[in-house]
Structure 1
Amino acid sequence: MDNNYIHISTVVASTCILMTTVWFFAIRRSSNTRRRVVKRPVGEASCRNYNIVKATVPRFSGLTLKFATTLSNSVLGGFISSVTASEANLYLFRNLQLDDIPTYQPRFPFSGPQAKVNEKCATDNLVLKKQKRSRKEFNYHSVSEFHQAYLSGEVTPSEVAEDAIEAIQMSEAREPKLRAFIEYNTFEIRRMAKESSDRYSKGTWLSVFDGVPVAFKNELHCVPYHRRAGSECFGSEQSVEDAAVVAKMRAAGAMILGVTNMHEFGLGTTGCNPGKLHGTARNPYNTNHYTGGSSSGSSAAVSSGLCPVAFGTDAGGSIRIPSSFCGIVGLKATLGRISYYGGAGQCYSCLHCGPICSSVRDVALAYALVAGPDPRDPFTVDQPEVTLQNFDNIDLYNIKIGIDWHFFRDCDKEILSACEKAVKHLEMNGAKIIDIEIPELEEARIGHIITSIAEMRPTIMNVLCDHYNKISCESRLNMSAASNISATDFVLANKQRTRTINFLKDIYQQVDVIITPGTPITAPEIQPGDLTYGTFDTDTIIDSMRYMFLGDFVGNPCLVVPVGFSQKGLPISLQIHGRWWEEDIVLRIGNVVEMACPPRPQPEVFYSLL
């Protein structure tokens, strides 16, 4: 009887377990189908309070990062990456119903004449014939100074080329290596310099950039170098055609020094690259700190004086973050203003190409040269004329500046103090400060992340499958987290883009520009273990992108300008966000901001080419 009782009990228990399992997995409604969904009215802001969320994902580097990466790509990886994505707030839209029409490919209407292919913007008034220099203060050499030195015969492009080659070699011989340049060709540099020297001797120089040293991010095709996008997996063949911006600078006679370092695939904001072909670029103001990314090498090159002009790309702050951390000027123009033809990036609706220089004036000169329509890049075809009208007009009596103070003040105290002083300077020059509120900032931030990662993922996943062991741990971990993004997330993210663009259009009817700090933190310190396997630091990524994502998500022009230094001697910047196609106003205000910057100390690593 006891045996029969045990048998019956076992059968009943097994049946109960089986029925419970069937009910739980096959019949019960999942939490995904019964969660509370909040409907947001079309075009109406549902959250005007400042709502950016801090991440709670732990920092990984060294062997810990390697272990976390291995785990994330294992059988347990799906669960781990899902938790990571949830902690990073990437599931934000799954609780929202948005009926706005999605914006997958932003287009920005304009009034006035349409720009023509190869039409040149007048810049003669920006070229300074003579610059006042204080012997007591450190100053970078400007494009105009190189040009005037060549015209006067004080120095030739060939002589500058020799100094540049020596400086690059010295930057690689020091410890730690600067790693600004990853490829340069002394024969090519000397050839271009010789041709430029001959033109100056004959009086047939091509432009103000003739003979001026320039460099380009490793993401752009630049003959005869390799376009590797910061990875060992790309660029096995030398480039045979220049990217659009490279071709324009080459046609202007610029002396191309080579290609510069970057964060692998552009998937990071520190510039940390443990790859054998790249290494990590160092911040010239303190080589124990990061440059910022992903245009790390271009910023290090300009900041250290290796060249006055370099080009980067920006889909999440990759021009502006390293410019801010390295104490120089970086411009992300309106989406479609500068051709991205010849670039390796796949984040097509957020990606911009732009100049990084030591001054706003040099950024304006470089921008004027490379901006304009390019039939090979459909984004650029429909745009207004490029202008730099009123660049030197420092009277801002007709300028209205919008500041969302809750947003503005979400930064370190030293940064806030320096940026508030810059705002006071703008007021003293006649600008009117208007309080504004930018709605749904956290939604825009998450929308930007989802959009950019979803657009990049197909290309990188192909590389990940073929070259898994050659890709950095950070890139693998990022792609693992991105695997949790669904088609619905992507659609809702682009519906949010429509909302954010419309919110900003309303704000820009009241103001000419919006101002924020450049970054809320100064350049992060390189931690032990970072250089071997890389680092995955969500806090730093979110912090460094806090004032960056908006411009990439909606495609408006943004400029970062140095306005001071921390007690540790690290640069601090202000950022100017303008209306679409109004780079001239952004640059004009940036020129005034630059005047408020206290004297810049010479970087720890600096080379003078004049």
Structure 2
Amino acid sequence: MEPIYYATISELAPLIRAKQLSPVKLTEAILARIEKLDPTLNSYITVIPEHALQQARQAEAEIMAGKYRGPLHGIPFAPKDIYYTKGVRTTSGSAFLRHFVPNYNATVIKRLEDAGCILTGKLNMNEFAVGETNINTHYGNVRNPWNTDCISGGSSGGSGAAVSAGLSVFSIGTDSAGSIRVPSAFCGVYGLKPTYGRVSLYGIPVLTKSLVGAGPMARGAEDLAIVMHTIAGFDPKDNTSERVPPDNYYSYLGKSITGIRIGLPDYFFKDLDQGVHSHVWRAIRDLEGLGAQFKEVSMPELSMSLVAEVATEGPEAAAYHHEILTTPKKELYQDYTRITLEAGELTTGMQYEKAQKARRVMRNAFYRTFEDVDVVAAPTVPITAPHFTSHPIEQNLDVWMRCTPYTSPADVTGLPSLSFPVGISNGLPVGMQILGKPFSEGRLLQIAYAYQKAVSSNKLMPIQ
């Protein structure tokens, strides 16, 4: 096994269960990794070593007493700093909430801690999840572990960097325009944006509740399945939660993908960087070699996705922040956040309603496509992680304009999408995504796991 801080949940859990690996020793290794690398990467906003070690000692005592809770028992993790954590500050990446300490846990955090997870801290993010770069003037920018001169992607950029570099075994992000999948692609990890309503949003102050999905980021498809098994399911505290029983995600792992029909929408295969183009097509050929069947499909309706995302997310986020935007306190926002929220206030009711109509049209286009194929595949984003520039507002806008046309279709339609690494181009990871029917996360995990097992080079480790 590689260094312990790069091990996956699926590798660590059997050792912990067999009492061959101490949760305390594992947590100490992760904390040491944070202390060594995070002054450079800046993936954490808050680190809580004493709290983590206390939880680790409790987990170890339970396991030694024969009270093993399951594969997440004794596993350290850190969520994006938008999840409420009881007794641990939750900033949402903003100066407004620098000292905010919730008195309850988000449902996702509660479910993970009930499963025996160990909380090591809270991860950096774009302010209020606005942006795709994780440039943050309040808490500092997150740097990409593959090249620290490059961005990590956002808004769950701390999650992408921490998981990639071994500063957290896994993380939980949120995604309303690509905020799980963009940093997953840029940092070379696996990220799943579940079906809308599959994972509870209770205790997450999301700005765009009609778009956002909460989901895991990890170093392998099996790890995504393990975490989804714990966090998925109906929550009566969340009015977006769907009463659909969670799937048995484990049952999909290891199944053959022979005969699975994968559509390739032409919309996603334009204006790709050469490295992205070559690695994604190599992955398509690899999947074809495993028995998948590919078919080119046309979905011109997807050209509306970016406009629909903007005309939905903008006014919903602005409504959430309206009171502050009308006072001098608005100057506490970093510039890009404030400009984005103010632009959202300019969206008219007619524009918003047209955006909802466009979302329905795109959803129906996917449903028609799924009559002929089981899933669709595409590059996660058309580029690898760009270098930081001296113009953060322009860079935020540029990355958003280039990347979200590829990630927003899943958000505006509420469909699940899984990003996984398929290679390295000029020293930086390339990601590919699979989109599926509602509540088909198991099928997406099946395909990603089959690829992961077949292509040994796709377990990527940036820093030793």
- TM-score band (shorter)? over 0.9
Paired residue for 2:438?
580
Amino acid paired to 1:245 = V
| 1:474 counterpart = 2:333 | no
Q: Distance in 1 between matches of 2:312 and 2:214?
A: 18
Picking from 276, 279, 283, the partner of 1:415 is: 276
Paired residue for 1:207?
70
Q: Distance in 1 between matches of 2:265 and 2:445?
A: 21
| 1:589 counterpart = 2:447 | yes
Paired residue for 1:315?
176
Range moving further from structure 2, 557-566 or 155-164: 155-164
**What's the offset of the Cα at 1:299?**
1.1
| Compared CA separation, residues 387 and 253, structure 1 to 2 (3 A) | same
Paired residue for 1:503?
365
Paired residue for 1:243?
106
Paired residue for 2:230?
369
Q: Is the Cα–Cα contact under 8 Å of residues 133 and 396 in structure 2 kept in the other structure? A: no
**What's the offset of the Cα at 1:482?**
2.4
> Residue 174 of structure 2: SS of its match in structure 1?
strand
Paired residue for 1:523?
385
Amino acid paired to 1:182 = I
> Residue 295 of structure 2: SS of its match in structure 1?
strand
Q: Distance in 2 between matches of 1:390 and 1:510?
A: 24
Deviations 1:170-202 (A, max 9, x none): 2244xxx21111112222111101101101211
> Residue 440 of structure 1: SS of its match in structure 2?
helix
How do 1:162-241 residues align onto structure 2 when only pairs under 5 Å count?
162-173=28-39, 177-234=40-97, 236-241=99-104
Q: Distance in 2 between matches of 1:407 and 1:549?
A: 11
> Residue 588 of structure 1: SS of its match in structure 2?
helix
> Residue 217 of structure 1: SS of its match in structure 2?
coil
Deviations 1:359-389 (A, max 9, x none): 0110111011100000001222422442226
| 1:547 counterpart = 2:406 | yes
| Compared CA separation, residues 245 and 471, structure 1 to 2 (3 A) | same
| 1:404 counterpart = 2:289 | no
Amino acid paired to 1:247 = K
Picking from 278, 291, 303, the partner of 1:442 is: 303
Q: Is the Cα–Cα contact under 8 Å of residues 267 and 302 in structure 2 kept in the other structure? A: no
Q: Is the Cα–Cα contact under 8 Å of residues 4 and 29 in structure 2 kept in the other structure? A: no
Q: Distance in 2 between matches of 1:525 and 1:445?
A: 24
**What's the offset of the Cα at 1:601?**
7.9
Q: Is the Cα–Cα contact under 8 Å of residues 215 and 310 in structure 1 kept in the other structure? A: yes
Task: Report the identity percentage.
Answer: 29
Deviations 1:104-126 (A, max 9, x none): xxxxxxxxxxxxxxxxxxxxxxx
Q: Distance in 1 between matches of 2:375 and 2:278?
A: 20
Q: Is the Cα–Cα contact under 8 Å of residues 347 and 452 in structure 1 kept in the other structure? A: yes
Q: Is the Cα–Cα contact under 8 Å of residues 384 and 581 in structure 1 kept in the other structure? A: no
Alpha carbon RMSD of aligned pairs, Å?
2.0
Bigger share in helix: 2
Q: Is the Cα–Cα contact under 8 Å of residues 520 and 546 in structure 1 kept in the other structure? A: no
> Residue 521 of structure 1: SS of its match in structure 2?
coil
> Residue 378 of structure 1: SS of its match in structure 2?
coil
| Compared CA separation, residues 552 and 529, structure 1 to 2 (3 A) | closer
Q: Distance in 1 between matches of 2:360 and 2:459?
A: 43
Q: Is the Cα–Cα contact under 8 Å of residues 138 and 602 in structure 1 kept in the other structure? A: no
Range moving further from structure 2, 300-309 or 407-416: 407-416
Q: Distance in 2 between matches of 1:344 and 1:561?
A: 27
Amino acid paired to 1:565 = I
Paired residue for 1:326?
187
Paired residue for 1:291?
152
Paired residue for 1:83?
none
Q: Distance in 2 between matches of 1:420 and 1:541?
A: 24
Q: Distance in 2 between matches of 1:351 and 1:508?
A: 22
Amino acid paired to 1:419 = V
Paired residue for 1:302?
163
Q: Is the Cα–Cα contact under 8 Å of residues 394 and 429 in structure 1 kept in the other structure? A: no
Amino acid paired to 1:480 = E
**What's the offset of the Cα at 1:166?**
2.1
**What's the offset of the Cα at 1:394?**
4.4
Amino acid paired to 2:70 = S
Q: Distance in 1 between matches of 2:175 and 2:294?
A: 28
**What's the offset of the Cα at 1:287?**
0.7
Amino acid paired to 2:23 = P
Q: TM-score, normalised by structure 2?
A: 0.95
Q: Distance in 1 between matches of 2:208 and 2:185?
A: 23
Amino acid paired to 1:589 = I
Deviations 1:385-406 (A, max 9, x none): 4222642344222311111235
Q: Distance in 1 between matches of 2:5 and 2:273?
A: 27
Q: Is the Cα–Cα contact under 8 Å of residues 387 and 584 in structure 1 kept in the other structure? A: yes
Q: Is the Cα–Cα contact under 8 Å of residues 317 and 341 in structure 2 kept in the other structure? A: no
Q: Is the Cα–Cα contact under 8 Å of residues 139 and 600 in structure 1 kept in the other structure? A: no
**Which has more radius of gyration?**
1
**What's the offset of the Cα at 1:150?**
2.1
Structure 2: which 5+ residue stretches go unaligned? none
Q: Distance in 2 between matches of 1:571 and 1:602?
A: 8
Q: Is the Cα–Cα contact under 8 Å of residues 448 and 553 in structure 1 kept in the other structure? A: yes
Q: Distance in 2 between matches of 1:247 and 1:139?
A: 24
Larger RCO (CA under 8 A, 6+ residues apart) = 1
> Residue 545 of structure 1: SS of its match in structure 2?
helix
| Compared CA separation, residues 297 and 364, structure 1 to 2 (3 A) | same
**What's the offset of the Cα at 1:306?**
1.2
Q: Distance in 2 between matches of 1:389 and 1:249?
A: 17
Q: Distance in 1 between matches of 2:269 and 2:5?
A: 29
Q: Distance in 2 between matches of 1:394 and 1:602?
A: 23
Q: Is the Cα–Cα contact under 8 Å of residues 416 and 438 in structure 2 kept in the other structure? A: yes
Q: Distance in 2 between matches of 1:225 and 1:523?
A: 31
Picking from 121, 124, 129, the partner of 1:266 is: 129
Amino acid paired to 1:417 = S
Q: Is the Cα–Cα contact under 8 Å of residues 562 and 597 in structure 1 kept in the other structure? A: no
Structure 1: which 5+ residue stretches go unaligned? 1-132
**What's the offset of the Cα at 1:467?**
2.0
Range moving further from structure 2, 555-564 or 154-163: 154-163
| 1:145 counterpart = 2:11 | yes
Q: TM-score, normalised by structure 1?
A: 0.73
Q: Distance in 2 between matches of 1:262 and 1:236?
A: 16
Range moving further from structure 2, 462-471 or 553-562: 462-471
| Compared CA separation, residues 474 and 597, structure 1 to 2 (3 A) | farther
Q: Distance in 1 between matches of 2:76 and 2:143?
A: 20
Q: Distance in 1 between matches of 2:147 and 2:365?
A: 40
> Residue 120 of structure 2: SS of its match in structure 1?
strand
> Residue 78 of structure 2: SS of its match in structure 1?
strand
Q: Distance in 1 between matches of 2:250 and 2:19?
A: 31
Q: Distance in 2 between matches of 1:141 and 1:159?
A: 13
| 1:155 counterpart = 2:21 | yes
Amino acid paired to 1:587 = L
Range moving further from structure 2, 231-240 or 295-304: 231-240
